[in-house]
Structures are given as C-alpha cells and as structure tokens.
Structure 1
C-alpha cells in the first residue's frame, strides 16, 4: 500500500481551504464517484484517470478501515492507457492492403487503397482493444494528511501533475498547489517574517541577470532549491554536518549515493555522479567550481536518532526513494504498524521542512551576504577538507 511499505517517494501539494474535521464516508463516496475504470476523466489523447483503493491495480473498493490511517486518507491515482501494438497494426494493414489491391493490374496499391487499409486496420485493432487486452494501468499512491492539510503524491516527476490536480479538484472540490522550492520559501518567509524571495535572481549565476535556465522568470523562485543543495554540500564539506533546527532538535546530514549537476545558463550541459560520497569526487568539485548547480542529491539525514536515506530534488523539493527507519520492536499489531508508518512519513516531512527553513533563515535575511562570501571562498579553493 503505497506509503505504508518499502521506500517512499513524493511530491507535496497544499490543499486549498480548511482541513476536513475528519475523514469519513463522505470522502470515500467522493472517491467512489470517480473510481478508475468507470466514471473517469478522459483526455483528448484517450488516457483515462480515476481513483483506486490502494491494494492492487484492480482494487476499486474503498472503506474506512483500509483507506483512513492515522488521520490520513490513503488511496491511489490510476491512469489507464490503451497502447495499440504497432507490429500488430502493421500486420493488419499489410493484410488489408493485400486484399484490397489483389486485382490491380499494375501490381501496386493505389493511394486510396492505402488509406482504406490504414483505416480498416486501425478500426480492427480498436475493436479488439475494447475488451481491455491492450490496456496498461499504472497506479501512483496518494496520502492526504489532514493535520498538515497537504497531499503527498507518490512521484518525483511532474508529468502527471495536471491530470492529478484536475481530478482531485473534480472529486473533492478543492484545489491543489504544488509546493516547489520557491513556493515553500514564500510560505516559510511569511511564517518566519523573512524577506520575500526574489523571483528571478540567483546568487550563483553571475553575468546573466541571475537567471537560471530551468526556472521560468516571473514564477516562484524555485532556484532556491538548487542553492539549498549547494549550501548542504558546503556545510558537509566543511565538516558542519549537524544543523540546529528551530524546534530545538538537530539534524545530521551527509551527501550520499547520487549527485546531478546542470549548467544554470543552459550552455555546458549536465551530469550525474554515483558514489558513496559523490560530493567528494574531483569531477564534482570541478563541475561546481565551473558554475554548475546541483539539481538532485542523495542524502542521509538523522534526527531524533532516526535515519532517513533519500534523494532530494532541488526545484520541486520532491523526495525520492526514501528509506524510513525500521519500526520499533514493540509495534507488532498490523494496524499499529500502519499508524506508526504514517507517523514516520510525517516525521520525514517535518525534518525536510525544518532543514530547509534553516537555509531560508540565512538566505532570506541580512546574514546571507556573509554566508555567500564563505561559500564563494569555499568554491574558489582548489582543495577540499580531508575526508
């Protein structure tokens, strides 16, 4: 069940309006009204989307015991796509064309016969597809946390975001807003009374107006996510791997496993490094000194004695393939395990938020001038701190 076993992956969305007093039959009925495979949202390209129950790709049943866990509503977003096999379409076309042109004295099919063969082959394949034999179904887990009034969508790609948010709005009559690095910075700035983030100026892209190639001007300052990962790299390289958080706790961090970098001017390309310590590789050092910015970084985070291994995506702050701590030995009942797992997911989200807030407390304050000078000095040095 999605967020309740294995590693977890998610984008985060803020839900419009007040949080529900509690999840109940009303919300399950709304899911049933838009269940996958029956009353679905169909796009112009024939893709259908709906909700599923969460236990399998064919699960279309919803009930309180299964779908409401520890004050969170859990279900799945299912996309159904008919993929007509090209080799079979070609075979039908060749057969139909041969039948249509067999009496041609020239021995060649006419343009009209080719069009007719193409249409008849396609119609034949579409007719066969009605029984679902060519249908591909893909489910993405969804967790609506009532306490935070946020939705976690189990993907790091934004390819299905429009479909998902549209269906959610149709189902619950509530809009969703993707919490990217820039949008989250705006929310945090309001809460902490910090300066509002500028929407088009990065401190690490000199000579081009500070614009970052992959962040559209006039929108949220999502390049702050790239600067955030660079800041974490800077801290860990100097040995400052423990960060005091605003709630009085501490987070220990270590870059690990993977690092993706890209040229913010869109000129010198991108690259991905895989290593137990990717930020310590000489090629990583040279890339960042040349002006590339991190777009994705593997991290090991420890807070409250619990370790999380994950990949953090810069602009969206999406969490990829996060390994949660093992459940406590005293948690043995099936339902208690689900409740504890939901708490662990919340703890991970809180840890990520608190760490990002510490960066923003520096980045969006007068302290940034001094911190920027330290980072630039670190970048200018040819050597790294000894491992």
Structure 2
C-alpha cells in the first residue's frame, strides 16, 4: 500500500469519538459492507465511492494480516467514475448523421436529424459502458492510527476528502474532522497549556494588513501555518538549523527544493521557486520583504537519526511527497518492515507536531512581540545574519 512503499503524501483527520481498543474482525466486516462495487455510495454527479483492500483497485478481500499493521487499520478509498470517450462519441455521431442524411436531396442534415444522431450516438456509447469498459477507478490510501485516533489520507483534493468523510461516517458511525493549521493550533495549545490567542495575522512588513486572502474570517486561524513556515525560514536563515523540542529531543531542519509564496492581500500574485536552497535565493527574500507569505515549503528534517524529505503545506499542514527514512538493515522480515514503516510515520507526525508546538509556544505567549520584532529586522536587512 502507498503508506508502506515509496513516498507518502497525506492530510490528517481527527476521528470523532473514542479510539478503538483494538482493530479486529468487526472493523473489517464494516469495510466489507461498504466495499467498492458492492454497496458503493453514489454522489449526485454519478461518482461512486467504496473501500478497497489495498493490493489493487479490484482488491476487496479484507483480512487482519493485510489490513491491520502495528495498531493501524489500513485500506483504500476507491472512487469510480464513468468517463465516456469524447472522440468515440464524435465518431458515432458523424457516422449516424451521415446515415440519416444520405437520402436528403440537399445532401445536408436537418436540425432534427442532427438531434437524432446525437441521441443515438450517446445511447450507443452508454450501452457499451454498461460492462465497465469506460469506468475509471482511482484509489487513495487511508491509515487509521488507533494510538492517536487520527486518519492519514493519501490525497489532498477537497472533493476526495469530502467523499472520505461521508463514507467513513456511514461505515464506522464516526465523523472525521480535517485538522488544519488553525485547528491543530487549538488542540496543541490545550495540550501545552498555552493561553494566548492569535486573533489576527502578524504584520511582518509595513502595510501588510491584518488579513490573509486565502483564510476566511470566523474560522480556525489557519494563517498560523503561513507564519510557522516564515518563522522556520527566519530560524534557518540565521544559521539556527537545529530546534530544541518540548520532549528534550532536537530536530535539524533545512528548507530545500521548493518554496511557494503569495501576497496575503491577493494583489501581487503567487511565485514558486525551485532550488536546493530556495529560501537563500535573492528573489525569495525580496518576495518576503514585499509581504508575501509562504504557502508551501520543502523541508529536510532529521530527528532521532531519521531523515525525512517533504513538502509542507501551510494552511492544512498537509505533507507532500515525503521521502521516508531507509529501513534498518536488520529489519528483513516482511511483516517487521510494515511495522517499522508504521512507526516511522508516527515519528514523522510527532516531529511535525513538536515543531509546530515549539512555534506556538512563542506565538501564543508574551514573547511573541519580541520575536516578531526580530523577524521584522531580519526582513528589512539585506544581510541574512542581521536580526
């Protein structure tokens, strides 16, 4: 499955209600009841969604050995949609139209014949589609971690996230909440006993204003994700490439590969930079000095001798295309490899939460005024060491 081989990407959802004491046959039975192609949930657009077991788009054979790994329930969301080929529809239409107009004295088809040809061509194509030949099947990985009672979902599309939430609720009787940067901040603040608030975005540069165009008012303060990435940029640009975390561990980090910035007022547009060290490019610094905020940033993280290379999306804290650490050489058993990979995923999620918590400990405290002033000085100086 995707979470256990190759690079991983995911959104995080909190499961509403108590965590399962253990995953067992009752959970697999619920997946079987809502398996793809059996009792699929069809949306108004004709798209059907159901669960798959992970080996392929047609695999619906759920079992404990395959679908329960290291206290995680793993399976796929399969989405089926009909996509009639437009070129074939056009060919059928032209053939039917020619047959209808063959006897016309003018040699031209009438409006009525054109309508008839269009209807007959579509009916012919829809008849062919009944055997599934034009059906498109797409799977996205799902991992439900019993320890955190969170679901990692291997897709970032909002429409797929909505289908996941609906089907998960129908299957397990539990809602899913997308944990964005603002919502994660609320949860971590409660855990860490932080009492400060973030009612409005910080003004990092003069004239930036107190609004962020892509974060609507009245909801969770997801702009904190943008400020988090800018803060990480600030730290690493001053050669503070290691951050002490609340559990006593240390994470070494480096911006890498990609950086996307956008004007928070929605005025001067969006720019994406690709480089081994994108934050060190002059154009990146000029964009930040103009008030643009990071929307996503490539990062290399090392904690507990485990290295992760990923792209972090600011407002959702979604992880994109993460290269996972190599498995230990002494882990050779196939089952042990799966268990180790699940542990690595937990470690990644924990590391990101600890890093974000470290930022929030400053952002939601009286120390933020001083830290904000240091960030402003850093932005106004051309020398990256000046702050």
TM over 0.5: yes
- Distance in 2, Cα, partners of 1:317 & 1:158: 14
Q: CA deviation at 1:317?
A: 0.2
Aligned to 1:320: 320
Structure 2 residue ranges without an equivalent (≥5)? none
Change (3 A) 1:91 1:197: farther
Task: Give the deviation of 1:195 after TM superposition.
Answer: 3.2
Q: After superposing the two structures, state which structure 1 stretch, 267-276 or 106-115, moved more.
A: 106-115
List per-residue Cα deviations over 1:4-58 (Å, max 9, x = no partner): 1111111000000000111001100110111112211111211111110011111
Deviations 1:246-276 (A, max 9, x none): 1111111100011111111111111111111
Partner of 2:268: 268
Which stretches of structure 1, 4 residues or longer, exceed 4 Å deviation after superposition? 205-209
**Aligned-residue offset at 1:384:** 2.2
Report the Cα offset of residue 107 of structure 1.
3.0
Assess if the C-alpha contact under 8 Å between 1:262 and 1:271 holds in 2.
yes
Corresponding residue number in structure 2 for 1:124: 124
Aligned counterparts of 1:44 and 1:313: Cα–Cα separation in 2:
30
Deviations 1:342-364 (A, max 9, x none): 00100000000000000011111
**TM-score where L is the length of structure 2:** 0.97
Q: Would you say the 8 A contact 1:296–1:312 is kept in 2?
A: yes
Q: Aligned-pair RMSD on alpha carbons?
A: 1.5
1:110-149 superposed matches below 5 A: 110-149=110-149
Query: Aligned-pair distance for 1:329?
Result: 1.6
- Taking the aligned partners of 1:7 and 1:72, their CA distance within structure 2 comes to 18
Question: SS of 2:350's equivalent?
Answer: helix
Say which is worse superposed, 207-216 or 343-352, in terms of deviation. Answer: 207-216
Partner residue of 2:44? 44
Distance in 1 between residues matched to 2:299 and 2:175, nearest whole Å: 31
Distance 1:197 1:136 in 2: 46
**Aligned residue number for residue 378 of structure 2:** 378
Mapped contact 1:199–1:218 kept (Cα < 8 A)? no
Contact preservation (8 Å) 2:204, 2:372: no
Give how far 1:188 is off.
Answer: 1.0
Aligned length, in residue pairs: 386
Q: Distance in 2 between matches of 1:52 and 1:328?
A: 30
What corresponds to 1:344 in structure 2?
A: 344
Contact 1:295 1:313 in 2 (8 A): yes
Q: Which residue of 1 aligns with 2:32?
A: 32
Q: Are the equivalent residues in 2 in contact too, given 1:186–1:196 (CA < 8 A)?
A: no
Secondary structure of the 2:320 match is strand
- Name the CA shift for 1:317/1:40 in 2 (closer, same or farther; >3 Å): same
1:112 Cα shift?
A: 2.3
Take 1:303 and 1:242, find their aligned partners in 2: how far apart are those partners?
Answer: 10
Q: Which residue of 2 aligns with 1:184?
A: 184
Are the aligned partners of 2:205 and 2:376 in contact in 1 as well (CA < 8 Å)?
A: no
Query: How far has the Cα of 1:208 moved from its partner?
Result: 6.6
What's the CA shift for 1:209?
A: 4.9
In structure 2, the residue matched to 1:367 is 367
Deviates more, 1:209-218 or 1:244-253: 209-218
Matches within 5 A, 1:70-149: 70-149=70-149
Residue 279 of structure 1 is matched in structure 2 by: 279
Q: Which SS does the other structure have where 1:126 is aligned?
A: helix
**Aligned-pair CA distance for 1:385:** 3.8
- Structure 1 residues 108, 312: CA separation in 2 closer, same or farther (over 3 Å shift)? same
Query: Mapping of 1:205-220 within 5 angstroms?
Result: 207=207, 209-220=209-220
1:94-151 deviations in Å (ceiling 9; x for gaps):
1112222223334332222222211111111111111111111111111000000000
Q: Give the conservation status (yes or no) of the 8 Å contact 2:155–2:161.
A: no
Residue of structure 1 in register with 2:54 after alignment: 54
Structure 2: distance between partners of 1:325 and 1:29: 34
1:207 Cα deviation from its structure 2 partner = 4.5
Q: Which position in structure 1 is the counterpart of 2:240? A: 240
Q: CA deviation at 1:89?
A: 0.5
- Deviation string 1:63-89 (CA, Å, 9 cap, x unpaired) is 000000000000011111111111000
Secondary structure in structure 2 of the residue aligned to 1:160: helix
Offset at 1:200?
4.6
C-alpha contact (below 8 Å) 1:226/1:295 kept by paired residues: yes
d(CA) in 2 for partners of 1:305, 1:243: 14
Task: Determine helix, strand or coil for the equivalent of 1:116.
Answer: helix
